[in-house]
Amino acid sequence: MIKLNKGDYTLTNVRYIALVTSLFIVFFELLRGIILFHYRHLAVDIPSVVLIKSFLIGFRFDLTVTSYILAPVVIIGMLPKIGLSASRLTRRLSYIYLIVMAAIAFVMTTLDIEFYGAFNTRLNHIPLDYMDDSGTILQMMWEMSAAIPVLILWTVMTFGFGYLLYQITKITFRNVKQDSLLHQIVIYPLILALLFLSIRGRISYRSPIRWGMAYFSNYHFANQLALNSCFTFIRDTLDSSVREKERKESALMPPWEAFTEVRRLLGIDSTDILQGHPIARKEQPNLISRLKSSGNDITEIPLNVVFIIMESFSAKLIGCCGGENLTPEFDRIVQDGLLFPRFYCSGGHTRNALFTIVTGLPSLLGRQSFAKRSESQLPFSGLPMLLKERGYRNYAYVTHDPIFDNKRGYFISNGFTNIIGLYDYQTEVELSSWGVPDEVLYGKALEDMNNYKEPFFAMLEGSSNHPPYRIPDRPYPRHDPSRPDVEMFNAFSYADWAMGSFMENAINTDWGQRTLFMIFGDTGENYKPTLELDLSWFNTPLLIYCPALIKPGVSDKVGGQKDLTATVMDILGEEWVNVTLGRSLLDKNNNGHALFVEQEMYGYIVDNYYLIRGQTGSFSLYNLPEQNILTGYEDIKKSMQTSAEALLSATLNLIETRQVRLSEK
């Protein structure tokens, strides 16, 4: 057993690092308290327990930032012979380094006090956007009434930190004697492991700490208070190169030209556009009014809305869409619903779908998840926010850790009331890397919905039809084990069985009779592809199920996930402000189109034409459903390219100019 004496090198180093860590965190928490005091008017209606939790969650962000700062000191300072205890030079260099880093950190945190008031978000990349005019910006900051108090606060914090650090250093290393080399070698890797864990911010292997972890409540200020401005600024700055690259990929035409084409494409009359906005317009749904005049009782109260998002739900594998016969439950439910077999997801990954479902905008080109960016903290006027304004409570169900891909923060900042994820399920059913099986998610959702106060919006995101295909033993149709795709086929059928069981129970409840169900996929399945952007990957049918309102049938209209917001709002009725780039699929004047992306490529469908911009940037035009390549159709190809690039450019401009939110009130 290793024994450490009070004056041993190793224990002294550990004590010093712990004290310095605590010192940084105390100063960060103090600055959090100053922000709370400065904006106390924003906290009037926030319960004290929520504000306390902001400080507790903030501790985790503070610890992560502090661990990054201390990493060089820990790595070098714990080494034998040249470490903090052994070398006065190492101590002096560490002291200077820590003072400089503290000064830089306190610059960010003190500037953030006024930054939050201006932008309603913690410090991010925005100041860097003005560096070309740094002289003007510095003059403006100096002329602001808050400039001098901020400078004084920064000075006091920096000198106060330096004084306390000096005292800690002097007292800690007053009497030190060398312990054995074995002691130092054993302790060193343990300290490094703790450092790594602190930097990562979480034990979960799925995802490190992200800004979405701070979104624990429905109070925007409390969530923002939990963040650390050093964390938000550095994280956002590190993403800036990727963001700029992807911005250039989607900025394919000037904004005025893009919005002109979008207005034409969506059939927007320029006289209907609200003043000061490029596309916001008031919509006048008439479905509910027609039903009310016919005496339909269901229209007297708001409908609940439930989105069932099936993992990799490709039309190529769905029986009623002419594909492989893997979905007996979906095929059965289709008999009482309105099916859109020519419906398409917005991209090749779940992150694309969730962006579009929440915002009503097409997914942008690029590889990075939008939910991880600081811009995703903007509240978009998509379906969740629109329903929230109408008094709905919004719930999102996922099978895995909701921190993954920053979903929790993205959802809460965009109108969801509660996020139900991996740690909310009480089950002994075997887990996969994607969390609980779909049946557990549906079981929890059904139990909750039986007790929800209406009206509510619930979004259920399954994941069992995703590798590694760990499926419980349930009575779903099994497939020929000799088939090379048998694991995927079985997972597909299991997901269908779980969804069917949920629907069978849900539609027989009182609330189910008053609910609009929308069943569709996050993406398709890249099954036996023949094209560079094969439609099996993007063609995921939509089923609208609400027999009391929607007549059963099959529509050949082309549509995409960006049309979901407009379609639901059309069904719910009442005038609303549409800031999306979608159009109701029930609109008889809507000819329909679909745009989907995969990294730098995109596909665009109008009528029976399919345009692909491939990896090399070249364009190919195909006819549908045959998928034969077409030559000599340059006018059609050019027109489709213009429409697709207008949608992408308009989306980017709406986000960059922060015109994504406009209350319908």
Copy the structure tokens of residue 248.
């250039």
Q: Are strands 553-554 and 338-340 parallel, antiparallel or unpaired?
A: parallel
Burial 343-368 (b: 16+ CB within 10 A, else e): bbbbbbbbbbbbbbbbbbbbbbbbee
Buried b (16+ CB within 10 A) or exposed e, 563-597: bbbbbbbbbbbeebbbbbbbbbbbbeebebbbbbb
Two tokens, residue 61: 């962000």
Neighbours of 443 (CB within 10 A): 19
* 169: confidence class by pLDDT, cuts 50, 70, 90: very high
| 300 band by pLDDT with thresholds 50, 70 and 90 | low
In this prediction, residues 303-315 reach a mean pLDDT of: 96
More confident residue, 397 or 573: 397
| Residue 297, pLDDT above cutoff 90 | no
CB 393 within 8 A of CB 377: no
Beta-carbon count within 10 A of 290 CB: 12
Q: Measure the CA–CA gap between 558 and 590, rounded to whole angstroms.
A: 9
Closest Cα partner for 422 from 395, 399, 440, 396?
A: 399
pLDDT given for residue 556 in this prediction? 95
In degrees to the nearest 10, what's the CA dihedral of 625, 629, 632, 636? 50
Q: From CA 403, how far away is CA 426, in angstroms rounded?
A: 19
Q: In the sheet that 456-461 helps form, which strands lie side by side, from edge to edge?
A: 418-420, 393-398, 456-461, 304-310, 515-521, 542-545, 338-340, 553-554
Q: pLDDT at residue 663 above 80?
A: no
What pLDDT score does 665 carry? 45
Q: Mind giving me the DSSP string for 199-246? A: HH--S-SS----GGGG--SS-HHHHHHHS-HHHHHHHHHHTHHHHHHH
Token pair 């059904």 is found at: 446
Q: How far is CA 254 from the centre of its chain?
A: 27
Q: What domains lie within the chain, and their CATH numbers?
A: 9-238 (no CATH), 273-587 (3.40.720.10)
Output 290 or 632, whichever has higher pLDDT: 632
pLDDT over 90 (residue 134): no
For position 582, what pLDDT does the model report? 96
What is the reported pLDDT for 377? 75
Q: What is the pLDDT of residue 183?
A: 59
- 592-623 tens-digit pLDDT: 999 999 888 999 999 999 999 998 889 999 99
pLDDT 10s digits, 494-527: 999 999 999 999 999 999 999 999 999 999 998 8
Please list, in sequence order, all residues whose beta carbon lies within 8 angstroms of the beta carbon of residue 355, skipping any fewer than 6 positions away: 346, 361, 363, 364, 370, 371
Enumerate the β-bridge partners of residue 518. 307, 544
C-alpha distances in angstroms, 74 versus 5, 68, 375, 391, 434?
20, 10, 34, 52, 35
How is residue 490 written in tokens? 């079985």
C-alpha–C-alpha distance, residues 603 and 536, integer Å: 12
The reported pLDDT for the residue numbered 136 is: 47
Q: Across the chain, what does the average pLDDT equal?
A: 87
Amino acid letter, residue 82: I
Comparing CA positions, the residue from 519, 529, 585 lying closest to residue 348 is 529
Asked if pLDDT for residue 661 goes beyond 90, the answer is no
**Share of residues in the chain with pLDDT > 70 (%):** 88
Per-residue pLDDT, 177: 60
CA max distance for the chain: 91
DSSP state of 599: B
Top pLDDT among 154 and 127 is at: 154
Decide if 556 contacts 240 (C-beta within 8 A).
no
Per-residue pLDDT band at 180 (split at 50, 70, 90)? low
Least confident of 100-114, 195-209, 400-414: 195-209
pLDDT tens-digit profile of 72-89? Answer: 999 998 887 788 888 889
629-641 exposure pattern, b = at least 16 Cβ within 10 A, e = fewer: eeeeeeeebeebb
Residue 209 has pLDDT above 70, yes or no: yes
How many whole angstroms separate alpha carbon 587 and alpha carbon 566?
A: 10
With a CB cutoff of 8 Å and minimum separation 6, the contacts of 344 are 535, 538, 539, 540, 558, 559, 560, 561, 594, 596, 605
Which pLDDT belongs to residue 405?
81
Give me the pLDDT at residue 176, please.
Answer: 65
In sign, the C-alpha dihedral spanning 482, 483, 485, 491 is: negative
> Cβ distance 567 to 606 under 8 Å?
no
Q: In this predicted structure, what is the pLDDT of residue 131? A: 53
